[in-house]
Amino acid sequence: MHRADHPLSRRALLDVTGVVVAAGLTAGCTSDSARPGRPAPSAADTPTQVPATGRHQAGVTLPHTAQRNLLAVVADLDAAVAPGPLLAELGQAIRTLTAGNDPRLLGLPPGDLTVTVGVGPRLVRAAGASLPGATDLPRFSRERITPQARGGDLLLQICASDALLVPVAAAALLDQTRDRIRERWRQSGHRGTNVPIGKGLTAPRNLLGFIDGIVGPHTSAEQQRDLWLAGPPAVAGGTIAVLRRMELDLPRFAALSVAEQEAVFGRRRASGAPLSGGSVSSGPELGAKTPDGRYLVPVDAHVRRAHSAMVGAGLMLRRSYSTDEPAPGLLFISFQNDLRTFTATLTRMDTSDALLPYTTTTASGTFLILPGFDRKRPLGSQLFG
């Protein structure tokens, strides 16, 4: 991770890119795919391109299965910078990068590269104090967050199946805007192997060994209800994102027995099925009890404390990416059309969720993910036009 309170220089960005590309090429020379006699990857192995334009920005529900690699960059706009022109310029750059028409990709095919842009509460309030996205996140327990790692004006979420594409695209976008933004913090992350969870859906395991992101607004009806903003017009088609970078106490969690670990989550570690029975796609039966009156899903289990029915809020589309520096942990990202969905859930978890004692949050922010854009409707024009 790199933190900065000043713009990165062009040379620094190019040096970082060169090192990453060189490292990737070196790793490729020793991988199975490069062994003598092994066929080169075919075009069928290249992920399908994801259109950057449309009603919604790419990188939330498109592609259907989230890419394996992510870099989140949080920055502030300099005081004299107008957000509208900057965002329109970013949108144009994103279109050329994801279409493969930008020489700054250094010859790499764009694959399923997506760049998703969000703006923080300060900028949203400048456009309208009552707009969705204008509210800062409150503080919660188990946080160790420096002022530099809290909040921010601008979010760039860069995702791709090809790990090399992520830093290359980031270098291009940050170099283009380096005289107008100041980076706060960044975090890269990776998702594990996807596990089928039913109805054509998959989810990865997290660093604690459990399947992550089983419950969410997966159907179109659920997404219209809980994910996408319907209005006002300035934000229609957008959503609200929350980012939380967490350190995980892996040794202490690993010291628990499997049964104790499962009681923390309320699910079976191997299958993802709730402790109340059924399959990974089954909803937990929170009222189910043993013959002696104990809840099958413990009262402090994560699946109970965070359950939307218990919270009285909507569903979150949750994405977690495992991290290995600055410490083993995860970057948690949730998308919802009401910030209360997240804040009410974490407030309830804060009181007694068995998972939280194994986590420490070290960075946090919320961002309005801007509505989609196209050639005639630049990125951010609905809000800052």
Tell me the per-residue pLDDT of 36-79, one tens digit each, with 9 for 90 and over: 344 444 445 679 999 999 999 999 999 999 999 999 999 999 99
Assess if residue 75 is contained within a domain: yes
Assess if residue 39 is contained within a domain: no
Q: What is the pTM of this model?
A: 0.88
Assess if residue 354 is contained within a domain: yes
Please write the tens of the pLDDT for every residue from 251-266: 999 999 999 999 999 9
Low-confidence residues of the chain, pLDDT below 50? 1-43
Give the per-residue pLDDT at 3.
Answer: 41
How much helix, strand and coil, in percent to the nearest 5, is found in the chain? 30, 25, 45
Confirm if 285 and 296 have CB atoms less than 8 A apart. yes
Distant-in-sequence contacts of 267-273, Cβ < 8 A, 24+ apart: 267/210, 267/211, 267/214, 267/303, 269/209, 269/210, 272/195, 272/197, 272/203, 272/210, 272/211, 272/214
Give the per-residue pLDDT at 45.
Answer: 66
Assess if residue 194 is contained within a domain: yes
Assess if residue 2 is contained within a domain: no
- Specify the number of domains making up the chain: 1
- Domain of residue 294, residue span: 10-17+47-384
Q: Which residues contact 44 (CB under 8 A, 6 or more apart)?
A: none
CB atoms within 10 A of CB 325: 9
Give the per-residue pLDDT at 199.
Answer: 86
Assess if residue 37 is contained within a domain: no
Assess if residue 41 is contained within a domain: no
Q: Which residues contact 175 (CB under 8 A, 6 or more apart)?
A: 8, 10, 13, 14
Evaluate the omega torsion of the peptide bond into residue 63 and state whether it is cis, within 30 degrees of 0: yes
Assess if residue 310 is contained within a domain: yes
